[in-house]
Structure 1
Amino acid sequence: MQLKQMVLGMVAVAGLWSVAAAAQTAVVTFDEGWEGWNPPWPASATTIEAEGGHPGAHAHTAAVESFGLDYYVDDIVGPGDSPFLGDHTQHASLTFGVDVQVQSIRTAGQPAERPLIVHFRNFTLNASVFYRLTTMADGQPWTAYSVSFDPRATQLPAGWGGTGADDPVTGGPVLPAGVTFADVLAGVNEVTLSAQEPYQSYDATDFDLRIDNIRLTVGEAPPAQPPRYEIVDLGTFGGELANAHAINESGAVSGVAMNKDSIELAFLWQDGQMRYLGTLNPAFEYDFGVARGISDNGYLAGYSMAPFPNGPGTVAHAFFWSEDTGMVDLDPGSEFASWAWDVNSAGQVVGEGMGAFIWTQKDGMVSIGPGAAEAINEKGEVAGWGTTPGGTGGWVYDSANGQMRYLDTLGRLSEIRDINIHGKVVGYSITDDWRARTVLWNVDGSIVDLGVIPVPDYGPGVANAINDHDWVVGRDDYLGWSETPNRGWLWIAGKKYDLKALIADPVVQASWAELAHPLGINNRGEIVGIGIHDGIFGRAFLMRPIALPDVVFADGFEQD
């Protein structure tokens, strides 16, 4: 096992940002065997292989007729001094993560889905807390999954469950009376990665999957003050304009950029290179398209022009893109327009067409209801807006159980833009007197007014994106006429900061007239969007914190 200063350059780990103290990460790389962890039963079904991991050595499980998998470390058969065990409440934050590749999961010869659950168990209290990292299914490529949380929290954080007692109403698992989340984390005797929900039974299942880089990051809480930033113009395909729409945990960016013929093309920016994703229109090599959402494992979603089915011309169709499939039309042959706005690592795509939809390769396009599905998190929770019982407002749809949670407005209506792993949602809401407010909706339904950027003559615009640390980016609007009517901001711990003012180099800062539309932010605090650079109204930008220690980004660029 390796103990090192954070950061892991190419791994999608939440919670990498730490200024007050360097975060420490324990990583099981399998280079030296199990390194304190144990394989699921039967042990013979899992082998350590030297190549093919993420990267290098990894654990390969090929279990036949198994009822569940449990990879674990404990203080009974494992090392008592394992950094995964003990009192975690001495830390302000924890991030648990693992990389997984699923080749197949089958029940009775048919494809099946199984959860990936992390458990922290306290034998003294006979209790545990658990979190669903993802849903595993056939053919999932190497993907890094993680969850960040406060081990000192007394209440269960969003998405977490507990065991040790039975709910008197539902019969489901709950923490024992008087036992808190922090109580369990204060004395962890075992950590388990499981393919089985507590109290759930499954048919005998054949698993063929690989795991690598089991890791635990401990450190201080994310800072309440913003970092200083550098900024990169992502360029174009030879034209003038470009927009950056989203960024994943590896620093890959989705967007649209012009070529020399002023055709707007969907792109993936990665490793310092801009890549054209193709088109749904077979009549042209290059045609209009926009890449909007990008998942942590590199899936993309957006829209492209497709042939109109009943005559000449084209119509916009939503697409899904991966390295294996290329660009896939989500509604082939339809005469109706559709747009995909986001995608997660399970390949769930959300967007709008004849109402809000969710799409998977298995089920195709399924209607959620009227309006638009704007965003989806790694748990499959969809945030959108449209007609609700109270008028026009926001909602959160849980794709796992089909339940809908409606979000209150500030009086008249709301629109939604993004959702984080904790189920917190951002966007804007209109008050009874028709004033817009940028807002954050908590899971309990309470609304946080994000305020106004501290710049004279500006009023609230829209909150566009939120990361898992509750950092929010958006824009506010000038109250009058201006050549630069929008100004971007970063909101942290109750305060908005002028985004342009966070650029450290004054010469570079002056070259950007405005960072008008920040549209995405990841857990490292990297921000993408649209700005005005060197007099050009519409350039794709990427902002990177410069205070992160020992960071190597995906394109090989190192901090000074």
Structure 2
Amino acid sequence: MHLHRRLGAVLTATVAATAALTGTAQAATTMTDLGTIPGASWSIARAVNNSGVAVGRSSGNGWSRATRWAARATITDLGVLPGGRYSNATGINSTGVIAGDSEVSDGTNRAVRFNLDGTITDLGLVPGHSDSWGLGIDDSGTVVGEGWDRSTGNRRAVKWDAAGVLTEFPLPAGTTSSLMGGVAPNGIAAGSVYAGQLERAVRWNLDGTVTVLASLPGGGDTRANAVNRYGQVAGYAFTIDGGQHAVRWTRDGRIVDLGAANPYGSIARGINENGITVGSAQDSTGQSVPTRWDSNGASLGLGLPATAYTGTAWAINRSGVIVGNSGQYEPNRALRWIVG
């Protein structure tokens, strides 16, 4: 494993605004532009822990850096492995240890752990795969992610424990590859598996078993993007007529259609331990609006800066702090929303 010192802490300003609301629920929402590291022109926030510390990346002209936004607005460039131009932070646990990935000198990618002392641990490759990605971290310090092979396109969901020991998540019978969605603080993980061209959302349980999650009636592919400590899962499922709907799976595996009232499409990307789900939903113009669904399924549009017309929410913590970004074709900005 290779260790590399981070770049320094930078930038402390934030900008607060009141979000315009859409959707079926209404509540006062405060939106904050989290900013970027110096020299970057855009940013995305991908995860937030229960202390309110967010992580993601800031990008400039031909480079990006994994970024941490402290609850009091201090922004830190987390650095990159030697020879790389790109790094990304995708998860943070309760102690502040961060998971993500970094490019290395040959242009391939490595799953990494960003440590509390400012070093970066290269978690290495998955056997038979050319690249690896870190996509979340639990409170034991176990990083979940994937191996990816450039020559075949094959992907495999894996985890690296705090000592760096690699384990592959089990595949259900008849499936050949797997994708990682996310991990709960206690180690329950969720993602999806492939049987031929058919994709199915799964939950990897603490006892080592894997649960294949339900589809919508008559529907097709499903994907899990996040899971909480109680085994509730967030993601999306396709309907019988090909629509994409945000969904939540209950602890006992039932599927709840969060997008039933929206004919334009939606996706869930994060869920907290109260069952509140976040993601995005398309409006009548086809643009994606950052969206929150409460535990009863009522939706709330979180709002966007006046200069943006699209965006998504990626994660929500226990107290309801939400992070994500504006932008798709316009420059992205990392955002934080607080509802109520």
TM-score range, shorter chain: 0.7 to 0.9
Offset from partner CA, 1:343-379 (integer Å, 9 cap, x none): 0110111111140101113352211142112111122
Identity %: 26
What is the deviation of 1:251?
0.7
Offset from partner CA, 1:37-67 (integer Å, 9 cap, x none): xxxxxxxxxxxxxxxxxxxxxxxxxxxxxxx
Q: For the residues of structure 2 that align with 1:283 and 1:295, how far apart are their CA atoms?
A: 27
Q: Given the alignment of the two structures, is residue 302 of structure 1 paired with residue 100 of structure 2, yes or no?
A: yes
What is the deviation of 1:320?
1.1
Q: What residue is the counterpart of 2:67 in the other structure?
A: 267
Q: What residue is the counterpart of 2:136 in the other structure?
A: 342
TM-score by length of structure 2 reads 0.80
- 1:283 aligned to 68, 83, 95, which one? 83
What is the deviation of 1:479?
5.8
What is the deviation of 1:511?
2.5
Classify the secondary structure of the residue corresponding to 2:104.
strand
Q: For the residues of structure 1 that align with 2:323 and 2:143, how far apart are their CA atoms?
A: 21
Offset from partner CA, 1:496-541 (integer Å, 9 cap, x none): 11111xxxxxxxx6625345111111121111111149x9531110
Q: For the residues of structure 2 that align with 1:297 and 1:515, how far apart are their CA atoms?
A: 32
Q: For the residues of structure 2 that align with 1:258 and 1:372, how far apart are their CA atoms?
A: 25
Any residues of structure 2 matched to 1:247-396 within 5 Å, and which?
247-259=48-60, 261-270=61-70, 271-280=72-81, 282-283=82-83, 287-307=85-105, 313-324=106-117, 326-331=119-124, 336-353=130-147, 354-362=155-163, 364-368=165-169, 369=171, 370-387=177-194, 391-396=198-203
Q: What residue is the counterpart of 2:292 in the other structure?
A: 490
Classify the secondary structure of the residue corresponding to 1:537.
coil
Q: For the residues of structure 1 that align with 2:321 and 2:28, how far apart are their CA atoms?
A: 11
Q: Aligned-residue CA RMSD in angstroms?
A: 2.7
Larger % of strand: which? 1
**Conserved? CA contact 1:266–1:278, under 8 Å:** yes
Larger-gyration structure (1/2): 1
Classify the secondary structure of the residue corresponding to 1:375.
strand
What is the deviation of 1:384?
0.9
Aligned residues: 298
What is the deviation of 1:431?
2.3
Q: For the residues of structure 2 that align with 1:513 and 1:331, how far apart are their CA atoms?
A: 38
**Conserved? CA contact 1:318–1:329, under 8 Å:** yes
Q: What amino acid sits opposite 2:210 in the alignment?
A: M
Q: What amino acid sits opposite 2:104 in the alignment?
A: A
Q: What amino acid sits opposite 1:392 in the alignment?
A: E
Q: What residue is the counterpart of 1:408 in the other structure?
A: 214
Offset from partner CA, 1:390-444 (integer Å, 9 cap, x none): 942111112x421111102122110111101211001001123322121111111
Q: What amino acid sits opposite 1:386 in the alignment?
A: V
Residues 329 and 453 (structure 1), Cα distance of their counterparts in 2 relative to 1, 3 Å cut: farther
Any residues of structure 2 matched to 1:58-137 within 5 Å, and which?
none
Q: For the residues of structure 1 that align with 2:125 and 2:236, how far apart are their CA atoms?
A: 33
Q: What residue is the counterpart of 2:29 in the other structure?
A: 229
Q: For the residues of structure 2 that align with 1:532 and 1:375, how far apart are their CA atoms?
A: 23
What is the deviation of 1:283?
3.1
Q: For the residues of structure 2 that align with 1:446 and 1:230, how far apart are their CA atoms?
A: 33
What is the deviation of 1:447?
0.8
Q: What amino acid sits opposite 1:357 in the alignment?
A: V
What is the deviation of 1:317?
1.0
**Conserved? CA contact 2:125–2:132, under 8 Å:** no
What is the deviation of 1:453?
6.6
Q: What residue is the counterpart of 2:3 in the other structure?
A: none
Q: For the residues of structure 1 that align with 2:256 and 2:232, how far apart are their CA atoms?
A: 11
Q: What amino acid sits opposite 1:489 in the alignment?
A: T
Q: What amino acid sits opposite 2:111 in the alignment?
A: A
Q: What residue is the counterpart of 1:83 in the other structure?
A: none
Residues 251 and 437 (structure 1), Cα distance of their counterparts in 2 relative to 1, 3 Å cut: same
Q: Given the alignment of the two structures, is residue 521 of structure 1 paired with residue 316 of structure 2, yes or no?
A: yes
Q: For the residues of structure 2 that align with 1:453 and 1:303, how far apart are their CA atoms?
A: 37
Q: What residue is the counterpart of 1:146 in the other structure?
A: none
Offset from partner CA, 1:247-267 (integer Å, 9 cap, x none): 1111101111024x4521111
**Conserved? CA contact 2:289–2:311, under 8 Å:** yes
Residues 510 and 374 (structure 1), Cα distance of their counterparts in 2 relative to 1, 3 Å cut: closer
Residues 453 and 305 (structure 1), Cα distance of their counterparts in 2 relative to 1, 3 Å cut: farther
Q: What residue is the counterpart of 1:538 in the other structure?
A: 332
Q: What residue is the counterpart of 1:437 in the other structure?
A: 245
**Conserved? CA contact 1:239–1:262, under 8 Å:** no
Q: For the residues of structure 1 that align with 2:66 and 2:305, how far apart are their CA atoms?
A: 29
Residues 333 and 494 (structure 1), Cα distance of their counterparts in 2 relative to 1, 3 Å cut: closer
What stretches of structure 1 of length at least 5 have no aligned partner?
1-223, 308-312, 501-508, 548-560
Q: What residue is the counterpart of 2:266 in the other structure?
A: 461
What is the deviation of 1:494?
2.2
Residues 427 and 510 (structure 1), Cα distance of their counterparts in 2 relative to 1, 3 Å cut: closer
* Stretch deviating more after TM superposition (227-236 or 511-520): 511-520
Return the structure number with greater relative CO, CA threshold 8 A, min gap 6.
2
